[in-house]
Chain A
Amino acid sequence: DIQMTQSPSSLSTSVGDRVTITCRASQSISSYLNWYQQKPGQAPKLLIYAASSLQSGVPSRFSGSGSGTDFTLTISSLQPEDFATYYCQQTYSTTITFGQGTRLEIK
């Protein structure tokens, strides 16, 4: 199976900060990389698909980049509602895998 490794695992940040989360695949996955946001007690929400495409309705402060094995999710100016856990997901292989998650906490 393709392993997805996110970093950092957690991050203490403040409103207005620029935040970057990275996701590394154990082999090339082209651009088959998606990002999700999950808040406590809620289902995950799709933010970015195909590495860099913004899902409809998602604020433009979220952006994604990368291809091959290295990917990033960037939040340009963190808002109070953005404190959540973020997951990357590869859909390149028949067996889909997620990263372990990155938790954004209020500093």
Chain B
Amino acid sequence: QVQLVQSGAEVKKPGASVKVSCKASGYTFTVYFMHWVRQAPGQGLEWMGRINPNSGGTNYAQKFQGRVTMTRDTSISTAYMELSRLRSDDTAIYYCARENRSAANDYWGQGTLVTVSS
């Protein structure tokens, strides 16, 4: 069965960086794009970008351009999302989500809470 397992919660200071991992299992990792979506406390879903695990190619939301880097390690079927120059309003749950062949996110990780606080 398809599973996406994310790394644990993080607490960071403003200005620092955070790197969240998403380990995929139950399918061929390189076949399906991986997206990253975040959700601030009590707020809606915000798309951050996606990576093609086969080529490493990325598309980022303009809001995060210059601050976000999505990478992958195909040898361990893991995608990563690194966000730099953290601010307090980056406090959120960060999700990875697989894109299916119909351009929908059919499997999601459990979420990683990132708290940015001085």
Chain A residues within 8 Å of B, Cβ to Cβ: 1, 32, 34, 36, 38, 43-46, 49-50, 53, 55, 87, 89, 91, 94-101
The answer to whether A43 touches B62, judged by C-beta atoms less than 8 angstroms apart, is no
Known contacts A43-B108, A44-B108; decide if A96 and B35 are in contact (CB<8 Å). Answer: yes
A98 contacts B104, CB within 8 Å?
no
Q: How many residue-residue contacts, CB under 8 A, span A and B?
A: 62
- Report B5-64 residues with CB < 8 Å from chain A CB: 35, 37, 44-47, 50, 59, 61-62
B104 A46 Cβ-Cβ under 8 A? yes
Q: How far is the CA of A95 from the CA of B103 in the complex (A)?
A: 12
Residues on the B chain within 8 Å of A55, using CB? 104, 106
Binding site for A on B (CB under 8 A): 35, 37, 44-47, 50, 59, 61-62, 95, 97, 99-100, 102-106, 108-111
Q: Which A residues lie within 8 Å of B106 (CB)?
A: 46, 49, 55
Q: Are B102 and A53 in contact (CB under 8 A)?
A: yes
Residues in A with CB closer than 8 Å to B111 are: 43
Bound Cα distance from A48 to B46, whole angstroms: 19
Please determine whether A98 and B110 come into contact, CB atoms closer than 8 angstroms: no
- The reply to whether A50 and B102 form a contact with Cβ atoms under 8 Å apart is yes
- Determine whether the beta carbon of B104 is less than 8 Å from that of A43: no
